[in-house]
Amino acid sequence: MLASQSERAIRILIVDDHALFREGIRMILEAQPDIEVVGEAEDGEQALALVEEVRPDVVIMDIAMPGIGGLEATRRIKAAHPEVRILALTMHDHKEYVLPMLGFGASGYVVKRAAASELVQAIRSVYKDESYLYPSVAKALLEEYRRRVPAGEEDGLTEREQEVLRLIAEGLTNQEIAQRLYLSVRTVETHRKNIMEKLGLHTSADLVRYAIRKGLIKP
């Protein structure tokens, strides 16, 4: 089902080596009025070709596949088409998989045990150029970040900005951060803007990848 004519549907490419799994994901997504599945691929090589052909907005990418796997496919897609969002959908939630995917440009990471509603929410988030991390993934990433970056050493950020940055890295929205820290949404937006300016970044996904690019977190 397509979105209304005034709003274009989010174009999705599903990449997974299991046909039954792809079919299940397609059924879930086609029930959404604002999402359109424009293609399926069973490995990274097919995914690369279909990205060129169907020009998806979001690629749902498995990691462990025969031939060209999800990591290499993500790297190549982002290099050729940086505007395409990559959402990892995999059974793995360990940092050994999470960090390389984010480092290669993925905007979100969901595990296959997630509810259908979480997958749909993740798609809508990354389409809006926001990051989305499944809770267990966000926890693992945040623990690694805190282990490698001592308090007070985040490139001149204030203590409050550090709090906001950590919550952004967990995937919280401005509204959720405001509620967590007892601040107004406008104040959170101001902190977010200051963090971006200090770090020279532009999106929430950039913040997550920041530690990797700076060598603070290494894939």
Q: What are the pLDDT digits (tens) for 28-71?
A: 999 999 999 999 999 999 999 999 999 999 999 999 898 899 99
Q: Collapse the DSSP code of 111 into the 3-class scheme (helix H, G, I; strand E, B; otherwise coil) and give the result.
A: strand
CA quadruple 61, 62, 65, 69: dihedral sign: positive
What is the biggest distance separating any 2 CA atoms in the chain, rounded to whole angstroms?
A: 50
Phi, psi for residue 211 in degrees, rounded to 5: -60, -35
List, as one string, the DSSP characters of 51-97: HHHH--SEEEE-SS-SSS-HHHHHHHHHHH-TTSEEEEEES--SHHH
Return the percentage of the chain with pLDDT > 70, whole number: 84
**DSSP per-residue codes, 124-142:** HHHHTT--EE-HHHHHHHH
In order of start, what are the domains of the chain with their CATH numbers? 10-132 (3.40.50.2300), 149-213 (1.10.10.10)
**Mean pLDDT lowest among 3-12, 119-128, 141-150, 177-186:** 141-150
Q: Which pLDDT value is given to residue 148?
A: 60
Higher pLDDT, 138 or 76: 76
pLDDT confidence of 217, banded at 50, 70, 90? Answer: very low
Asked if the model's pLDDT at residue 183 lies above 80, the reply is: yes
Q: Which of 78, 75, 58 is nearest to 15 (CA)?
A: 58
pLDDT number for residue 93: 78
Share of the chain above pLDDT 90, in %: 46
